Chain A
Amino acid sequence: MTTTLNRKKQPAIQPPGKVSFPNPEIYQLTNGIKVYQFNTGTQDVISVELVFAAGSWFQQKPFTAMATNLMLREGTRNYSAQKLSESLDYYGAHFENTTERDNAYVNLYSLNKHLSNTLPLLSEIVKNPIFPEQEFKIVAGKQLQQLEVNRQKVNFLARTHFNSIIFGNMHPYGMYLQPEDIGNITTGELGNFHKQRYHSNNCFLIVAGRIRPGLRNELEAHFGGDDWSGNAGLRKQHQPAGSSEMNHFIPKEGAIQSAIRMGRLMFSRNHPDFAGVKVLNAILGGYFGSRLMNNLREDKGYTYGIGSSVVPLQDGGYFVISGEVGADVTKDALSEIKKELIRLCNEPVNESELSLVRSYLSGEMLRAVDGPFAQADLYRELIENNLEINHFEEMMDTIQQITAQQLQDLAIKYLNPENIHTLVVGPEQF
């Protein structure tokens, strides 16, 4: 018996199964710190992450939040910077510290077999940093050089300036680092910021990986005491004050590509239109097969890559289209992007494209729960926005059910080109 293989026809498509979003085990340490625990994964490793409300939102002066976070591992009450690095490296631990606009993150990745040695180091780093002058000079010097190098890149300039255009350069989401800011901070100010923001009343913990018995007791011993309490205080409010000018240009002499940013203020995850706009964004520029990629890359060859995204923050958010295009086709690229925005406003998306996007986004949600670290990343966003796991279930429902008409309504509401700011960083006025 032989069956001929029909290579023209795609194998039967199975409908997406229900994504089961993993619920972490949640408990509190004695001092009130909440712990979210994902016990899963095939490797004998763990990630222990502390999330502090200590992002740039809370700083009085630029660079304070970032510098404080960078300096955590540069010397503590009981360890010199060198001793800390030696010890972390000796146990193969990977320590990651980052500062975002709302929060600051301190993450230890460790083999379970070395956790008893690495966890005390993490505790030392977050609780007892001393901000030595000498080490700060080195860290600040490095940051300054990195910033100077980044300022040569059209993409970096576009990213930083775009945020200041839509939020205003006095708003914490719009402010960006200037070289002179770096020399303008003292270690005393870092110490103060640490005292105000890095304490047990201003953080939560996410642990993910293979959870060994007794971990809770270890976390309790290192982080559960009243030795590092503080007062979180109220979160200040800031009003965005974006530019009234819609078109912006920053010259970059000699650049052979222009970096493009187009976008506008949007909203946080809590907004009722968030899920719908995610779908709309996918159609426009949220995946490889999106309209922007199809038009500007696959049809015209203007760019190596162009895309759009919806970025939710704690107090608001924004929508942005970004890409680097050949300098000579900058004008054409802008007009094609505009055409795509108008098309979304004027024509309902057809069923074939919509079903493609539904499937793609469902797959993306599945990938987002693939493995312990991915699960922790996904769940962290919920906690940061005071949302529950049903947020993702509702997003899945919107992805499956939103209609072409609703999407067109959202496009008219949010993506009218008249309300979109445009920034070009490139070689000549366009």
Chain B
Amino acid sequence: MIEFDRFTLENGLRVIVHHDASTPIVAMNIIYNVGSRDEHPDRTGFAHLFEHLMFGGSKNIPRYDEPLERVGGENNAFTNNDFTNYYLTVPGHNLETAFWLESDRMLDLAFSTKSFDVQRNVVVEEFRQNYLNQPYGDAWLLLRPLAYKVHPYQWATIGKDPAHIEQAGMDEVKEFYKQYYNPCNAILVIAGNVTTADIRQLAEKWFGPITNGSIYNCNLPAEPIQTEARSLIVHRDVPYDAIYKAWHMGGRADQGFYATDLVSDILSAGQSGRLNQQLVKNLRLFSDISAFISGDIDAGLFVITGKLMKGVSLEDAENALQREIENICRHGIEESELQKVKNRVEAIIEFSEMRVLDKAMNLAYYELLGDADLANSLVDRYAEVTVNEVVAAAKQIFRLENCSTLHYVAKN
């Protein structure tokens, strides 16, 4: 249970405060409601490039990191399809420096041309390091456009191509900032040994004077229902064949979300998951295999991916995987099996709230979804799911025509 207070400044900035006296560290987390789904198709990778630029200096502060390090703080950020998240931890007695820094970069950015040039390079190197210079590193870059034809989830957060980043212009970046980096498009969370009164005063002082800008209404085209199975085969210089399969599922707020998530747990949570027991241990067709959901806010993907054992044919592996899927749809699951994955989810949620930073991030995310208090009802949401709902979710997802398959084949 994460208790919290919540208030909104006049300019629309939502503020959440969680009190935890057990640590001298205070966490600050700010979510901006902009992610790679909000990008133009010819300018992908922008939201993430922008996250880098947010450290290149703001209106009154030439460098972001140094003043924070000077008070013993540490920070980082990440971007995903849906939002951009900035977070920091700081010894509590120097919390005001965090307010000073974060409010100034919400007020106005002032990064230099040089910083812009360098960060484009840095992001291109990140693209190479994590996607292009890794075995299987481009699998998601291939799978997304196979599964999505209309919705912007068809590109990854890093972008479609390093060229988009290399070509980004200063004007476009400034326009992007103006549109999305506004108080009414952000959520601020503070967690630690603080009082709501103090935080309210600090928030009013530093964030209060920022003009509100306009609320961004994310209004993206829905992905049309997929009507036939899709497949793609690529040959790469990797040691083993791999299979990636993606099925369309509902969005985060959809009724069936929790049941669908539990389907993925039935298949692959822990060592005892069905896919591991059957396909890795008993039949020895895969060296590893996992099922998971993308967890996006808009309609997302249910994914199964695995690497084949040497000498196993893609056809045999596919057939065995298909049997496991049909097994759930036809024969259902045991009550005890469902209880197992629910227990596991409960533990994972409990362990995801160990530090103030974890709690601050969770609260910000659920507030973005609509209500921070969702963080506290998650266990119940999962607990309510019935065996029938899980099987119904499995049947809904695992239709042949709903699937996109990537075969990643080892050369030689």
Q: Taking A92-B348, A356-B66 as contacts, is the C-beta distance between A301 and B122 under 8 angstroms?
A: yes
- When distances are taken between beta carbons in the complex, the residues of chain A under 8 Å from B347 are 45, 91-94, 109-111
Q: Is A298 an interface residue (CB 8 A)?
A: yes
Q: Is B179 an interface residue (CB 8 A)?
A: no
Evaluate contact between B272 and A362: CB separation under 8 angstroms: no
Evaluate contact between A366 and B122: CB separation under 8 angstroms: no
- When distances are taken between beta carbons in the complex, the residues of chain A under 8 Å from B307 are 145, 149
Q: Quote the shortest CB–CB distance from A116 to chain B (angstroms).
A: 14
Interface string of B93-137 (1 = CB under 8 A from A): 110110110011001000000010111111101101110111110
Evaluate contact between A11 and B100: CB separation under 8 angstroms: yes
Q: Is B407 an interface residue (CB 8 A)?
A: no
Which residues of chain A from 46 to 91 have a CB within 8 Å of any chain B CB? Answer: 73, 81-82, 85-86, 88-91
A13 CA to B70 CA in the complex, in Å?
8
Q: Is A289 an interface residue (CB 8 A)?
A: yes
Evaluate contact between B96 and A362: CB separation under 8 angstroms: no
Closest to A91 in B: B343
- When distances are taken between beta carbons in the complex, the residues of chain A under 8 Å from B67 are 10
Q: Is A234 an interface residue (CB 8 A)?
A: no
Evaluate contact between A5 and B351: CB separation under 8 angstroms: no
Q: Quote the shortest CB–CB distance from A383 to chain B (angstroms).
A: 22
- When distances are taken between beta carbons in the complex, the residues of chain A under 8 Å from B288 are 142, 145-146
Interface string of B242-285 (1 = CB under 8 A from A): 00000000000000000000000000011111000100110010
Q: Quote the shortest CB–CB distance from B122 to chain A (angstroms).
A: 5
Evaluate contact between A146 and B100: CB separation under 8 angstroms: no
Q: Quote the shortest CB–CB distance from A64 to chain B (angstroms).
A: 21
- When distances are taken between beta carbons in the complex, the residues of chain B under 8 Å from A92 are 343-348
Specify which of B25, B129, B240, B353 is in contact with A304 (CB 8 Å cutoff): B129
Number of A-B residue pairs, CB cutoff 8 Å, is: 224
Q: Is B169 an interface residue (CB 8 A)?
A: no
- When distances are taken between beta carbons in the complex, the residues of chain B under 8 Å from A148 are 239-240
Q: Taking A41-B354, A94-B347, A141-B309 as contacts, is the C-beta distance between A85 and B272 under 8 angstroms?
A: yes
Evaluate contact between B354 and A373: CB separation under 8 angstroms: yes
- When distances are taken between beta carbons in the complex, the residues of chain A under 8 Å from B96 are 11-12
- When distances are taken between beta carbons in the complex, the residues of chain B under 8 Å from A11 are 94, 96-97, 99-100
- When distances are taken between beta carbons in the complex, the residues of chain A under 8 Å from B119 are 301
Interface string of A356-369 (1 = CB under 8 A from B): 10011011101100
A298 CA to B61 CA in the complex, in Å?
17
Closest to B310 in A: A145
Stretch at the interface among B7-15, B16-24, B143-151, B220-228: B16-24
A5 CA to B207 CA in the complex, in Å?
11
A151 CA to B135 CA in the complex, in Å?
9
Q: Is B71 an interface residue (CB 8 A)?
A: yes
Evaluate contact between B135 and A152: CB separation under 8 angstroms: yes
Q: Is A386 an interface residue (CB 8 A)?
A: no
A107 CA to B242 CA in the complex, in Å?
31
Specify which of B99, B103, B128, B350 is in contact with A257 (CB 8 Å cutoff): B128
A366 CA to B89 CA in the complex, in Å?
10
Evaluate contact between B89 and A367: CB separation under 8 angstroms: yes
- When distances are taken between beta carbons in the complex, the residues of chain B under 8 Å from A374 are 355
- When distances are taken between beta carbons in the complex, the residues of chain B under 8 Å from A304 are 122-123, 125-126, 129-130
Evaluate contact between B72 and A326: CB separation under 8 angstroms: no
- When distances are taken between beta carbons in the complex, the residues of chain A under 8 Å from B69 are 287-289, 356, 359-360, 363
Closest to B127 in A: A304
- When distances are taken between beta carbons in the complex, the residues of chain A under 8 Å from B340 are 86, 89-90
- When distances are taken between beta carbons in the complex, the residues of chain B under 8 Å from A255 are 133
Q: Quote the shortest CB–CB distance from A408 to chain B (angstroms).
A: 22
A5 CA to B209 CA in the complex, in Å?
9
Residue among B66, B125, B205, B269 having the largest count of chain A Cβ atoms under 10 Å? B125
Q: Is B73 an interface residue (CB 8 A)?
A: yes
Q: Is B65 an interface residue (CB 8 A)?
A: yes
Evaluate contact between B240 and A149: CB separation under 8 angstroms: yes
Specify which of A7, A93, A256, A289 is in contact with B104 (CB 8 Å cutoff): A7
Evaluate contact between A366 and B72: CB separation under 8 angstroms: yes
Q: Is B60 an interface residue (CB 8 A)?
A: yes
Which residues of chain A from 350 to 405 have a CB within 8 Å of any chain B CB? Answer: 355-356, 359-360, 362-364, 366-367, 370-374
A355 CA to B270 CA in the complex, in Å?
46
- When distances are taken between beta carbons in the complex, the residues of chain B under 8 Å from A41 are 22, 354
- When distances are taken between beta carbons in the complex, the residues of chain A under 8 Å from B118 are 297-301
Q: Quote the shortest CB–CB distance from A305 to chain B (angstroms).
A: 8
Closest to B135 in A: A152
Q: Quote the shortest CB–CB distance from B233 to chain A (angstroms).
A: 20
Evaluate contact between B339 and A257: CB separation under 8 angstroms: no
Closest to A145 in B: B287
Q: Quote the shortest CB–CB distance from A265 to chain B (angstroms).
A: 28
Q: Is A416 an interface residue (CB 8 A)?
A: no
Specify which of B133, B336, B343 is in contact with A154 (CB 8 Å cutoff): B133
Specify which of B23, B271, B350, B353 is in contact with A85 (CB 8 Å cutoff): B271
Q: Is B172 an interface residue (CB 8 A)?
A: no
Interface string of A245-273 (1 = CB under 8 A from B): 00000000011110000000000000000
- When distances are taken between beta carbons in the complex, the residues of chain B under 8 Å from A82 are 272, 277, 281
Q: Is B400 an interface residue (CB 8 A)?
A: no
Q: Quote the shortest CB–CB distance from B58 to chain A (angstroms).
A: 9
Q: Taking A303-B122, A359-B71 as contacts, is the C-beta distance between A141 and B269 under 8 angstroms?
A: no
Evaluate contact between B121 and A141: CB separation under 8 angstroms: no
A390 CA to B331 CA in the complex, in Å?
61
A41 CA to B356 CA in the complex, in Å?
11
Q: Quote the shortest CB–CB distance from A147 to chain B (angstroms).
A: 9
- When distances are taken between beta carbons in the complex, the residues of chain A under 8 Å from B309 are 141, 145
Q: Is A218 an interface residue (CB 8 A)?
A: no
Q: Is B206 an interface residue (CB 8 A)?
A: yes
Specify which of A7, A256, A287, A324 is in contact with B60 (CB 8 Å cutoff): A7
Closest to B238 in A: A152
Q: Quote the shortest CB–CB distance from B351 to chain A (angstroms).
A: 6
- When distances are taken between beta carbons in the complex, the residues of chain B under 8 Å from A236 are none
Q: Is A237 an interface residue (CB 8 A)?
A: no
- When distances are taken between beta carbons in the complex, the residues of chain B under 8 Å from A145 are 239-240, 287-288, 307, 309-310
Q: Is A341 an interface residue (CB 8 A)?
A: no
Q: Quote the shortest CB–CB distance from A287 to chain B (angstroms).
A: 7
Closest to A150 in B: B135
Specify which of A10, A89, A303, A372 is in contact with B271 (CB 8 Å cutoff): A89
Supplied contacts A5-B206, A82-B272, 15 more A-B pairs, CB within 8 Å: A7-B59, A7-B100, A7-B104, A13-B94, A43-B350, A43-B353, A45-B351, A141-B287, A145-B310, A301-B120, A324-B125, A324-B129, A359-B72, A360-B74, A363-B69
B residues bordering A, Cβ < 8 Å? 20, 22-25, 59-61, 65-67, 69-74, 89-91, 93-94, 96-97, 99-100, 103-104, 107, 115, 117-123, 125-126, 128-130, 132-136, 205-206, 209, 237-240, 269-273, 277, 280-281, 284, 287-288, 307, 309-310, 336, 339-341, 343-348, 350-351, 353-356
| For the complex of A and B, 9 pairs with smallest distance between CB atoms | A363-B72, A301-B121, A92-B347, A85-B271, A89-B270, A85-B272, A11-B96, A7-B60, A304-B126
Write 9 A-B pairs (CB below 8 A) sorted by A numbering: A42-B354, A85-B271, A93-B347, A141-B309, A256-B133, A298-B118, A360-B69, A367-B25, A370-B24
